Amino acid sequence: MDGTKKTLFSGMQATGKLTLGNYLGALRNWVTLSEEYNCFYCVVDEHSITVRQDPAELRKRARALLTLYLAAGIDPEKNCIYYQSHVSAHAELAWILNCFTYMGELQRMTQFKDKAAKHADNINAGLFTYPVLMAADILLFQADLVPVGIDQMQHLEITRDIAQRFNGIYGDVFTIPEAYIGKSGAKIMSLQEPEKKMSKSDENPNASIYLLDDPDTIMRKFKRAVTDSEGSICYRDEQPGIKNLIDIYSACTSKAPKDVEAEFSGRGYGEFKEAVGETVVSVLKPLQDRIEELSKDKTYLDTVIKNGAQRAEYVATKTLRKVQKKVGFPERIR
C-alpha cells in the first residue's frame, strides 16, 4: 500500500443477488478509486448472518461476490479484496468496541428498527450490535474515507462517535473516518415502485434488474416498468418512473438527463423502455462474460482470496494489538 495515499474502506453483503443499482451506484465507481486511495474492499459475510442463511448458499454467494469485484475491474494487486470472516480481528475488535458503545446509541439506529420489523421471529443481538461490527470493519484499517449512502450515514456517525470516545480515553488510536464524497453513483430505483431504491431483497422479481439476468429477462422487465399516463419523457420528480429510466440510461451512456430528454423528445414510452433495456444489456454483457471466465479459474480465485486475507490480516492485526494494549490485555508471549 502507498503510504502517501489516504485509506478507503467499503464492502457489500454476501446475501441476495446484486442488482443494477449496486453496480451503477457503487461497484463501478470503486474501480477508479485505487488510483487515488489505498482501498480495502471486503465481502462482509459476518454481517450476513444476522439473518438466517443456508450455509452452502452463503459460501456460494460470498465467492460469487468476490468474483464480481474482480469482474468489475477491481485490481487485486492495487486493492485489498478479502472475506471479512477470514480476518478474525473484525470480531475481536467488535467485542472491545461493544464495551465503548451505549445501548441508547444502538437503539436509535433506524436500520435495526427496520430489520427487526422484517424479521420479528429473529431479533438477535447481532442485529442490534451490527453497527459496532461495522465500526470495527472501518477502524481496523484506519480508514480515512468510507463511501456511504444516506441509509448508512447513521452507521458512519456512530463509528465516529465510538472512535472519538475511545481516543478521548486512550489517546490517538483510531483515525476518525469521513464520508467519501466523490463522483456520486447513480441512485437506481425500483422498476415497479420508483419511489424506493432498487433492492436485491425485493419480493417482486420484476422490480430489480439482477447482474446475471439474461437479455430476454432484462428486456421483459423494462417493458413492464411502471411509468405514468403523461406520455412525455421528462426528468422531473412528478414522473418518478420515467425519471428513474432516464437515470439508468444516463448512467449507462454517460449522457446528461437533459440530453436524454432531447434524444427521446416526442417518442413514446414503449420505444424509450426498449432503448433503456438494450443499453443495459450492452453494459452488463461484458461483465457477465468476465464473471463466467473468472468462475472457471479456481486457482486464480483461490490465490486472490488467500493473498487478500493475508494482506488484510497484517494491517488489521497492527491496529488490534495496539487497542488490546491500550485496554490492558496481557501481552502475548511469542
143-179 per-position pLDDT tens digit: 999 988 767 788 899 999 999 999 999 999 999 999 9
Question: Percent of the chain, pLDDT > 70?
Answer: 97
Confidence at residue 215, expressed as pLDDT on a 0 to 100 scale: 96
Cell numbers at residue 302, please?
483461490
Can 115 be counted among the known catalytic residues? Answer: yes
70-88: pLDDT as tens digits: 999 999 999 999 999 999 9
Q: What is the pTM of this model?
A: 0.89
CB 90 within 8 A of CB 324: no
Q: Let me know if 197 is a catalytic residue.
A: yes
Contact 72, 28 (CB under 8 A): yes
CA distance 69 to 219: 25
Give the active site residue among 78, 200, 318, 326.
200
pLDDT at 184 (0 to 100) = 53
* Residue 195: Cβ-neighbour burial (10 angstroms; 0-12, 13-18, 19+): exposed
Task: Give the residue from 141, 182, 177 showing the smallest Cα distance to 308.
Answer: 141
> What pLDDT does 185 receive?
59
Residue of 115, 221, 243, 273 marked active site: 115
**Residue 12, beta-bridge partner list:** 43
pLDDT of residue 114: 74
- The Cα–Cα gap between 40 and 198 comes to 25
The SS3 call for residue 332 is: coil
Give the pLDDT band (50/70/90) at residue 182. Answer: low
Q: What is the rounded average pLDDT of the residues 7-16? A: 90
* Beta bridge mates, 6: 37
- Backbone dihedral angles phi then psi of residue 58, each to the nearest 5 degrees: -65, -45
Amino acid at 167: N
C-beta separation of 69 from 81 below 8 A: yes
Least confident of 138-142, 173-177, 253-257: 253-257
Cell of 121: 421471529
**Looking at per-residue confidence, does 115 or 144 come out higher?**
144
Question: 28-32, 79-83, 251-255 — which is least confidently predicted?
Answer: 28-32
Residue 273 has pLDDT above 70, yes or no: yes
Cell of 56: 452452502
Q: What is the pLDDT of residue 263?
A: 95
- For the chain, the average pLDDT equals 92
Would you give the distance in Å from CA 115 to the centre of its chain? 17
Residues 97, 84: Cα–Cα separation, whole Å: 17
